[in-house]
Structure 1
Amino acid sequence: MKPVRLKLLSALLMFSVFLVGCSGETEEVVEKPAAVHIEDGDECHVCGMAITRFPGPKGEVITEKEQTVHKFCSTRDMFAWSLQPENTMRKHTLYVHDMSQTEWESPDDTALIDAREAVYVVGSKRKGAMGQTLASFSTESAAHDFMMEHGGEILAFDAITLEHLNTEMPAGEMHGDMRH
């Protein structure tokens, strides 16, 4: 009778270890890669233009799987790339300049912020490398101040579509609400 009890006890112990192992699921936290400095001579991943030669906010995308850095001469080009169907489902880390912390003519890379958390002014009078660009800010207040001076419309990251990039919005149009 002892061998049967021993086998049953052993099976129960194994099952208990299995249950404990299953109940302790932990979510793997992947650290976000740091922004990469935009160097003189870097070219835009979309249009090939020299990034630092032009005014306005720039963008960069770091692909999660390959850890490849794509740099863009404007936020408009960054969105044009990231909104393409083949890129929307992939995981990326995106950065843009906080234009409340740096000069329009020559953005400083110490002002790069998470693009998904930024607030954008679309359709302003200010031009970037490719003409109209999306002015990026860390706060809605800063975006609102910019919009009041330069026109445009305030949008959150998730509200930006390819239509915003493909159509010229009237620069005098002003909307004070945050769209999601």
Structure 2
Amino acid sequence: MKKSCLSVCCVYLILLSVFSAAWAGPPAPSKPEAREKCPVCGMFVAKYPDFLAQTVFKDGKVFFFDGVKDMMKFIFRPDRYSPGRKVSDMIAVYVTDYYSMAPIDGRRAFYVIGSDVYGPMGRELIPFQMKNEAGEFLRDHKGKRILTFGEISPELIRKID
């Protein structure tokens, strides 16, 4: 009887730990150290908090970028910038909302392209948490389009680069 109860308790604890990790959700965004460099262009990212973007992997590794454009280059070809990395191992994407300056979920953000606002690497995708704010920015800053994360393609990145 004791052995059976112990087995049930062990199974319960294992299931609890597995589901606890799943329920916890993605890790919170973090801040780069002063010497942290963008893996795509090599710029020091802490100098550009207004445009900061980051990806987080299952193993806890965080990559910081000086803008959405470089982050998307990394996402499209992670193996090019960090051999062995795969998009399927990425658990979070954060970008900096243009108006609030707060980190937001990059997969749910709205991006304005073609505006008169430039990032550290020139033309940039400008992220917003709210679509209406993206629309306001688009009108005020001569933007061309509002895109979702899934609408951003390698071809689009090449065109604005």
State the TM-score, normalized to the length of structure 1.
Answer: 0.68
The equivalent residue for 1:129 is 120
Residue 89 of structure 2 aligns to which amino acid in structure 1?
R
Other structure's SS at 1:167 match: helix
Residue 158 of structure 1 aligns to which amino acid in structure 2?
G
- Indicate conservation of the 8 Å contact 1:55/1:127, yes or no: no
Residue 92 of structure 1 aligns to which amino acid in structure 2?
I
The alpha-carbon deviation at position 116 of structure 1 amounts to 0.6
- Indicate conservation of the 8 Å contact 2:124/2:160, yes or no: no
State how many pairs are aligned.
137
Matched, 1:93 2:92: yes
- Indicate conservation of the 8 Å contact 1:76/1:133, yes or no: yes
Structure 2 residue ranges without an equivalent (≥5): 1-10, 80-85
The alpha-carbon deviation at position 41 of structure 1 amounts to 2.8
Name the CA shift for 1:128/1:55 in 2 (closer, same or farther; >3 Å): farther
Computed over aligned residues only, the root mean square deviation of the Cα atoms, in angstroms, reads 2.4
Mapping 1:59-138, distance limit 5 Å: 59-64=53-58, 66-84=59-77, 86=79, 87-102=86-101, 111-138=102-129
Name the CA shift for 1:80/1:46 in 2 (closer, same or farther; >3 Å): same
Aligned equivalents of 2:33, 2:98: Cα separation in 1: 19
The equivalent residue for 2:155 is 163
Name the CA shift for 1:157/1:129 in 2 (closer, same or farther; >3 Å): same
Name the CA shift for 1:55/1:35 in 2 (closer, same or farther; >3 Å): closer
The equivalent residue for 2:82 is none
Structure 1 residue ranges without an equivalent (≥5): 1-20, 103-110, 170-180
Residue 74 of structure 2 aligns to which amino acid in structure 1?
W
Greater helix share, structure number: 2
Aligned equivalents of 2:48, 2:28: Cα separation in 1: 23
